[in-house]
Homo-oligomer: A and B are copies of this chain.
Amino acid sequence: MNRIYNPERTTWPELLQRPTRTIGDIEAMVKEIFREVKDKGDRAVLKYTSLFDGVSPGSMVVTPAEIEAAGGMVSGELKEAIALARTNIEKFHAAQKTGRVTVTTTDGITCWQEKKPIQKIGLYIPGGTAPLFSTVLMLAVPAAIAGCGEIVLCSPPDKQGNIHPAILYTAGLCGVNRILKVGGIQAVAGMTFGTESIPQVYKIFGPGNQYVTVAKQLATQYGVAIDMPAGPSELLVLADDSADAGFVASDLLSQAEHGKDSQVLLVSTSKDLIDAVEKELEQQMEALPRKDIAEAAIGNSKLIYVQDKEDALELVNSYGPEHLIICSAEEGFYVEGIVNAGSVFIGNYTPESAGDYASGTNHTLPTNGYARNYSGVNLDSFTKSVTFQKITEEGIRHIGNAIELMADAEGLQAHKNAVTLRLNRLENKK
């Protein structure tokens, strides 16, 4: 791993740079598939499923019988684990509910704000090596709490034309309304435009490879919202001598195994800890089935020593990590000062994988420095805020003149006139 001791502030931007993915020429292909799906619907979707996934499922729509059968293929103990995770995720996201906010800003003027559920949402769950049923929990559970009426889930079929049973089981459990055996660009295009089988949705959530990422970006140009821009997963561990080097190494590796482009950083005020973590990393890596991936990601990663805690905190806020683990005797100082991070894990017994699965927080988080300006997925991601106001005759008397003056100064005479007409009516009423 790369070691950097007391980096100069001028080198921070380079030091904290993420490994970049080249998106290159994907965009033209994505646009073409969008055009085809828009024009030809299911026919185009099936064509690309056959082309990219090498399979032609009889029907894209998963039947209730298939969901039931999937339940039989999931072990009892995994079901219990899923139930526990679901309960915790439910508790944490239900607590995020906000009631109506009502304010009488001036006598006779009542303004209020209400959250309304987004009525149709789409969840994208990748296929491939890791069947991410945990992501189904992270998206479908808060969607149900928010009251989203229609929850659609797309996931690519395997070579046998099936979706992994754990994904189907979890989707069924969490009230997903329609599950489709469709992946990649064609899934995102289908949910953007709607096809015979795929319902059109208003917002698309979920992770995916670079094709899905570009497709989600393109979907926003057709009026669909997305959860957040995507990037490779990342973890920053902020630790001192109070940390357990073995635990730190295991956390770094748990992030590194996600993908070769994942990035993990250790920032420490202890050179001894850095040495110990490096040793542990080498040992633990050997035993991993995804060793190749982890090794490549560790190659992108850095062990950074800084002399004092103020610098450490500023470095972390400059980076804005998706996941931040704090194992430090100064934990209070750091927790207080963190502004830019997706999710923060505090103490030696708080591994990042707890938040990935079962503690209750959401694991769909801003990567790539987006923690500076985007929230992780939370209950509000499934709602939008609508404001209301009701003004009485008394109320318009209080603020009518101010509106007239401001509208006049902005040169918007009709805006002024809408108030003048009302004030005149009230004048005549007297």
**Any B CB within 8 A of the CB of A63:** no
Which residues on the B side are within 8 Å of A225 (C-beta)? 370, 373-374
Among A101, A256, A294, A359, max chain B CB count under 10 A is at A359
Copy number of this protein in the oligomer? 2
Question: A341 contacts B254, CB within 8 Å?
Answer: no
- Interface mask (A250-266 → B, CB under 8 Å = 1, otherwise 0): 11011011100000000
Q: Does A208 contact B (CB under 8 A)?
A: no
* B407/A353 in contact, CB under 8 A: yes
A369-B385 Cα distance, complex, nearest whole Å? 14
- Given contacts A81-B401, A368-B223, A396-B354, whether A130 and B411 have CB atoms under 8 Å apart is yes
- Whether, in the assembled complex, A161 has its beta carbon less than 8 Å from a beta carbon of chain B, the answer is no
- Contacting pair B130 A405 (CB below 8 A): no
Partner of A373, one of B98, B118, B347, B419: B118
A59 to B150, CA, bound (A): 54
**CB of A203 within 8 A of chain B?**
yes
Query: Separation in Å of the A218 CB from the closest CB of chain B?
Result: 12
| A202 interface hit (Cβ, 8 Å) | yes
CB of B403 within 8 A of CB of A357, answer yes
| A390 and B284 contacting across the interface, CB-CB below 8 Å | no
- Kindly state whether residue A11 has any CB partner on chain B within 8 Å: no
Beyond A119-B372, A376-B385, A390-B346, whether A358 also contacts B402 by CB under 8 A is: yes
What CA separation (Å) do A290 and B258 show in the bound complex?
59
- B202 with A373: CB separation less than 8 A: yes
The proximity string for A residues 354-382 relative to B, scoring 1 for CB distances below 8 Å and 0 otherwise, is 11111111100010111111111010100
Contact of A111 among B224, B256, B361, B418 (CB under 8 A): B361
Q: In chain A, residues 64-113, which have Cβ atoms closer than 8 Å to a Cβ of chain B?
A: 77-78, 80-82, 84-85, 87-88, 91-92, 95-96, 98, 101-103, 105-106, 109, 111, 113
Among A294, A349, A376, A378, find the residue whose CB has the most chain B CB atoms closer than 10 A.
A349
- The number of chain A residues with a CB under 8 A from chain B is 129
Docked complex Cα distance between A370 and B384 (Å) = 10
User: Is A407 touching B357 in the complex (CB atoms < 8 A)?
Assistant: yes
Closest residue of chain B to A115 (Cβ to Cβ) is B375
Is B344 in contact with A414, judged by CB distance below 8 angstroms? Answer: no
A408 and chain B: residue at smallest CB distance:
B78
A351 at the interface (CB under 8 A from B): yes
Contacts of A251 in B (CB 8 A): 418
Residue A132 is within 8 A (CB to CB) of chain B in the complex: yes
**A415 interface hit (Cβ, 8 Å):** yes
Q: Could you tell me the distance between the alpha carbons of A335 and B102 in the complex, rounded to whole angstroms? A: 15
Report whether B109 and A409 are in contact in the complex, using a CB–CB cutoff of 8 Å.
Answer: no
- B contact residues around A375 at 8 Å (CB): 384-386
CA separation between A361 and B350, bound complex, in Å?
Answer: 42
A289 and B413 contacting across the interface, CB-CB below 8 Å: yes
Q: Contact partner of A134 among B396, B406, B425, CB < 8 A?
A: B406
Contacts of A166 in B (CB 8 A): 409
Q: Among B109, B118, B353, B358, which residue has its beta carbon within 8 angstroms of that of A360?
A: B109
Whole-angstrom distance between the alpha carbons of A340 and B101 in the complex?
18
Q: Is A133 an interface residue (CB 8 A)?
A: yes
CB pair B385 A354 closer than 8 Å: no
Give 5 CB contacts A-B under 8 Å.
A92-B113, A95-B102, A117-B339, A353-B403, A357-B403
